[in-house]
Chain A
């Protein structure tokens, strides 16, 4: 399998559930990102990891908890979400942090999350 993969592709959860989103990159990259994409809104950068260390957390509510166990895998743990958290959650990777912020990021297909 190549590129950036995300599972699950679709997720419906209640406000009291706990779930996790998984991202895996097969590109040998050192930086990984979580984005939130809502209709008619710009992509919102949520978290950035470089060499498995979190380097950015853009004022994201604590009900979203990222985890990067190694440079190929990224998780987003979800708990007690709100209906306004329903969106497409995209994972991306780049060769390194500088490249990702000035050149190319490679995106996965996203997880469509619906919070009831």
Chain B
């Protein structure tokens, strides 16, 4: 069983829509949660980082962690074509585990 499950998509939305990305995880020891964004032909880059449960907002991006249900979410408001990328979720208990990534296309 994978420690972090993520629907690979692809997900296609019109410009301006809200993008909702989700992951589930199995390791209840995870305390640290990240979202990485990976553009085509590039390496992943950290987008959001949260510790334990709760919400974190950064501009158009909101990350949520619900440890009771082992659920990780990322919301992108007012999506732009430049948000088209693969989004990787990850959890860590001092050992990092990634999801498979969800490919998102925002159509102009």
Which chain A residues have a beta carbon within 8 Å of chain B's beta carbons?
Answer: 4, 40-43, 45, 90, 92, 98, 100-110
Contacts and interface: CB of A to CB of B under 8 A. Distances in A.
B88 interface: yes
B95 A101 contact: yes
Interface string B5-47: 0101000000000000000000000011010100001111110
B98 A42 contact: yes
Contacts of A43: 44, 88, 98
Interface residues of B, number: 25
Interface of B: 2, 4, 6, 8, 31-32, 34, 36, 41-46, 49, 88, 92, 94-101
A41 B95 CA distance: 18
Nearest to A107: B43
Most chain B Cβ neighbours within 10 Å, of A90, A98, A103: A103
Contacts of A98: 94
B96 to A, nearest CB: 5
A107 B34 CA distance: 14
Given A4-B43, A103-B49, A110-B43, A42 B96 contact: no
A107 B96 CA distance: 14
A102 B43 contact: no
B104 to A, nearest CB: 15
A41 B5 CA distance: 10
A42 B43 contact: no
Contacts of A42: 2, 4, 6, 97-101
Given A102-B32, A103-B32, A109 B42 contact: yes
A95 B43 CA distance: 18
The 5 closest A-B pairs by CB, nearest first: A107-B43, A43-B98, A102-B32, A42-B98, A104-B46
Contacts of B49: 103-104
A104 B51 CA distance: 13
